[in-house]
């Protein structure tokens, strides 16, 4: 799914390899990322995971083009049993994804993130809200305009109340009945979620 016009994202102050060079200054409408190192070098494994999600579903897959440095162990979240701890209003993060048909969710880990992992998904809003974005305590919601797009930012409560997105900040854009989102563990990584989403939807 591709939304809106092509958006250009240039990050401020990212080191290029060991030479110490830096990217050009940010355009006024592009968000800078300060909380984690980012890269456009997409691991072969992540590309294969995106291809797998495409084969298993009925919606186009937007494979990330900008990711946290050190991304590894990516996977398509498969249908699995959702386990609820006794007395806990949420779940333990193992949310039940009932097949990859009208939506998908990809998870990956990155050493440059304090809390290690991030997720991205897209598909019908109804299915994603029911299966992948649900929490027992409603997340805080903020609406912002970034690089010409209207984004919805969600701050999910800590696990277990926040479900699989517990302790995450999530950036989301809507296109009619469909949505695409990026969810990053750690509230300080809002800039990462926004930058990844802007690049995904450009």
pTM for the model stands at: 0.76
Peptide bond just before 103 cis, omega within 30 deg: no
Looking at residue 92, what DSSP letter applies? -
Using a 10 angstrom Cβ sphere, with 0-12 exposed, 13-18 middle and 19 or more buried, the burial of residue 139 is: buried
Predicted confidence at residue 142, as pLDDT, reads: 96
In this predicted model, which residue has the larger pLDDT, 81 or 189?
A: 189
Predicted confidence at residue 159, as pLDDT, reads: 86
**Among 163, 149, 57, residue whose Cα is nearest residue 106:** 57
d(CA 166, CA 139): 9
Decide if pLDDT at 25 tops 50.
no
Mean pLDDT of the chain, nearest integer: 76
Predicted confidence at residue 64, as pLDDT, reads: 94
- Confidence band, pLDDT 50/70/90 cuts, at residue 191: very high
Decide if pLDDT at 153 tops 70.
yes
Number of domains in the chain: 1
- Confidence band, pLDDT 50/70/90 cuts, at residue 12: very low
Residue at 9 is within a domain? no
Taking residues 48-76, report their average pLDDT: 87
Residue at 4 is within a domain? no
Residue at 8 is within a domain? no
CB atoms within 10 A of CB 20: 7
- Confidence band, pLDDT 50/70/90 cuts, at residue 2: very low
Residue at 71 is within a domain? yes
Residue at 7 is within a domain? no
> What pLDDT, in 10s, does the model give residues 89-112?
444 344 444 556 788 889 898 888
Residue at 2 is within a domain? no
Predicted confidence at residue 101, as pLDDT, reads: 79
In this predicted model, which residue has the larger pLDDT, 4 or 13?
A: 4
- Confidence band, pLDDT 50/70/90 cuts, at residue 42: very high
Domain residue limits at 158 = 15-200
Residue at 29 is within a domain? yes
Residue at 166 is within a domain? yes
- Confidence band, pLDDT 50/70/90 cuts, at residue 66: very high
Predicted confidence at residue 55, as pLDDT, reads: 85
């Amino acid at each position: 799914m591709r939304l809106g016009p092509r958006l250009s994202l240039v990050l401020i102050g990212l080191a290029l390899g060991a030479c110490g060079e830096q990217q050009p200054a940010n355009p006024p409408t592009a968000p800078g990322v300060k909380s984690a190192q980012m890269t456009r070098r997409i691991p072969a494994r992540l590309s294969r995971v995106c291809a797998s999600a495409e084969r298993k579903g009925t919606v186009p897959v937007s494979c990330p083009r900008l990711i946290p440095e050190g991304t590894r162990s990516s996977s398509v979240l498969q249908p699995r049993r959702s386990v609820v701890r006794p007395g806990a209003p949420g779940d333990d993060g193992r949310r039940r994804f009932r097949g990859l048909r009208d939506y998908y969710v990809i998870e990956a880990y990155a050493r440059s993130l304090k809390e290690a992992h991030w997720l991205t998904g897209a598909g019908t809003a109804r299915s994603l809200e029911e299966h992948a974005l649900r929490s027992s305590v409603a997340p805080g919601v903020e609406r912002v305009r970034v690089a010409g797009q209207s984004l919805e930012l969600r701050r999910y409560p800590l696990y277990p109340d926040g479900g699989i997105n517990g302790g995450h900040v999530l950036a989301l854009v809507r296109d009619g009945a469909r949505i695409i989102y990026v969810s990053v563990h750690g509230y300080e990584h809002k800039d990462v979620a926004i930058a990844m989403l802007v690049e995904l939807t450009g």
